Structure 1
Amino acid sequence: MKFLLRRATADLPVPDRLELAGGPLPVTVRRNPRAKRIILRLAPGGAGVVVTAPRSTPARTINEFLERHRGWVEGRLARIPASIAVVDGATLQLRGEAVSLVHRPDLRTSRFESGEAGGRLLIGGDARHFARRVADALKREARRDLEASVARHAASVGLQPRAITLKDTRSRWGSCTADRRLAFSWRIVMAPPAVLDYLAAHEVAHFREMNHGPGFWALCRDLCPEMDFGRDWLKRHGAQLHAIDFTPR
């Protein structure tokens, strides 16, 4: 796979996508006045390339940076886990534990069951809506867990969120605006509870520290002593959550 960056010149802007052998890969460039150097990362699930650069960085410099790190990107793409279809009989994670998906057309609503053989998520209704109903069930669980965790951490900092929104974002697991509006990827409910709690603590810490400086990380650690575990787990296993495909079959 090769990036089409060989003809980069001082006048050539950074492309909005990179044409690879496996198809185009979107490019997002973020100009950050606080950035001291160029940082490159792959969006969760290999959805694109994200470049963070100082505001004054020329496009030519960014293009050359991408070309120098082509091998790194190719290696990361190769490590992305294969997608897992959400179908009857499949297994996914809920709060870090394996849950079997079972279609029960006679049921009017979905429900979770636990037993000696492990957990099961029973999904009712038409088979055509199976994947969507699984996603809906996970979203309900995610909202319950996130609202509880956010409420606990918000009480610690003495500030309440204006709103909590669930999304299916790939570029980030959570976000916080200056007016304390929180957004989370609902897929986080599939991770172990300590990981979800770290994510909630991370965003609530922004209520006091709208940055990622030493003060922010100190507050985040006070809110969530298992912060290191949560950060490491997302780096190592986060892509697996994005590999679960909720496309109707």
Structure 2
Amino acid sequence: MSQFSLPGNPPIDVILRRSARAKRLSLRMSQLDGRVTLTLPNKVPESQGMAFLREKETWLRSHLSKRDVDVAVALGTQIPVEGEMLRIEPGSGRSLQRSDGALRVPGPEDRVAARVKGWLRTLARDRLAEACDEYAQRLGRPYDRLTLRDTRSRWGSCTHDGGLMFSWRLILADREILDYVAAHEVAHLAEMNHSPAFWAQVERIYGDWKPARTWLRENGAALHRFRFD
């Protein structure tokens, strides 16, 4: 795997990937972070891949222009937290304080993003643990553990031994969205599939899940545009 830049205004960083399983050239753009990947079968020369990329350049730039702009978290940035937009402001003392539409962050300015990320992860864990405890009780099945990650391909998962995993970025969405994902994964403790029986369990412990699922499909990618590095 290698990376190069496609000239233009602006230049586009492209990851070049070889695959023994690929039968044809493919070009993909991630809706989450705008990452562009050009995949070539092993026997296809790189020059053919570059020609394919130039053919698709207009399409690629059009889609990149429609993607939400990334937001670097810093003083003055506004971020959504549980359905409320909070403006990040300087704070005092040792702890972050949330009040009156602001999130006040003490300490050096170059540590603001890291401290906000840590605060969000802690809040996400608290909310998800609370929700999972409630839904597991309604389901009548205990879970074994809860872990958080910054996943790009899924919002949550459930293992056969009762482990629940969630994206901490769910805390950026309205509370009912986080609750739905918690209920979804807890329901897998009873049904490790997406059969009608599984969805019946989700509805039993959560209620009407369709609006939250639709919201995630249409708006979930925007939760990944906030950058904490």
How far did residue 24 of structure 1 move? 2.7
Equivalent positions of 1:19-168 (< 5 A) are 21=6, 22-25=12-15, 42=30, 44-47=32-35, 74=60, 77-104=64-91, 106-114=92-100, 119-168=101-150
How far did residue 240 of structure 1 move? 1.2
Q: What is residue 225 of structure 2 aligned with on the other side?
A: 243
What's the CA shift string for 1:46-92, capped at 9, x where partnerless? 4577xxxxxxxxx9xxxxxxx9xx89x94655432110111101101
Structure 1 distance, partners of 2:84, 2:16, is 33
How far did residue 20 of structure 1 move? 8.3
Residues 174 and 183, structure 1, Cα contact 8 Å, conserved in 2: yes
Structure 1 distance, partners of 2:88, 2:138, is 37
TM-score by length of 2: 0.76
Equivalent positions of 1:4-23 (< 5 A) are 21=6, 22-23=12-13
How far did residue 113 of structure 1 move? 1.1
How far did residue 155 of structure 1 move? 0.5
Unmatched 5+ residue regions in structure 2?
7-11, 22-27, 43-51
- After superposition, the Cα gap between the structure-2 partners of 1:19 and 1:216, relative to the gap in structure 1 and judged at 3 Å, is farther
Structure 2 distance, partners of 1:155, 1:41, is 41
Aligned AA (1:44): L
Q: What is residue 211 of structure 2 aligned with on the other side?
A: 229
Provide the identity percentage: 33
- After superposition, the Cα gap between the structure-2 partners of 1:143 and 1:109, relative to the gap in structure 1 and judged at 3 Å, is same
The counterpart of 1:208, out of the listed 180, 184, 190, is 190
Structure 2 distance, partners of 1:77, 1:157, is 43
How far did residue 213 of structure 1 move? 1.7
Alignment root-mean-square deviation, CA: 3.1
Residues 32 and 225, structure 2, Cα contact 8 Å, conserved in 1: no
Unmatched 5+ residue regions in structure 1?
1-15, 32-39, 50-58, 60-66
Comparing 231-240 with 186-195, greater Cα deviation is found at 231-240
- SS of residue paired to 2:33: helix
How far did residue 17 of structure 1 move? 8.3
- After superposition, the Cα gap between the structure-2 partners of 1:43 and 1:210, relative to the gap in structure 1 and judged at 3 Å, is farther
